[in-house]
Amino acid sequence: MDQIKRVKRVPHLYERCYQTAAGERRSKYYGIFTCKLKRKRRVFPLGGNLEAAKEALALLLADNIKGNGKDLMPRENTRKGVTLFLNGRTNTLRRKWTRKNTPAESSARNYHTRC
């Protein structure tokens, strides 16, 4: 059974204790805080080492205060294309340079293509 507890004397740091199938007890640390710009709750996995988790959390919180958190990183531009097979001929529709989309964005947005 998982247990998530706040680590004492360290704000925004939580520990998840769990038992593996082999019976070992393990713990993972997570940073949980509200994003300053988007006002959304963010959960970042920080690993199994407490000291490393504290350092990583300090960097994440500093980025959050500055306003350049992970969720504000620009996405890479990629070229996308669609290949159609019509009567043995191959027609390729090319799209303009667009950013990588999440599945939610892909279904919600209409793409304009040109021949």
Q: What are the pLDDT tens digits along the chain (115 aa)? A: 678 999 999 999 999 999 999 999 999 999 999 988 888 899 999 999 999 999 999 999 999 988 876 655 555 656 666 665 566 555 555 555 555 555 555 544 444 444 4
Say what the pTM is: 0.59
Name beta bridge partners: 93: 82
Residue 57 neighbours by CB under 8 Å, 6+ apart:
10, 12, 13, 31, 44, 46
Q: What is the dihedral of CA 66, 62, 32, 50, to 10 degrees?
A: 170
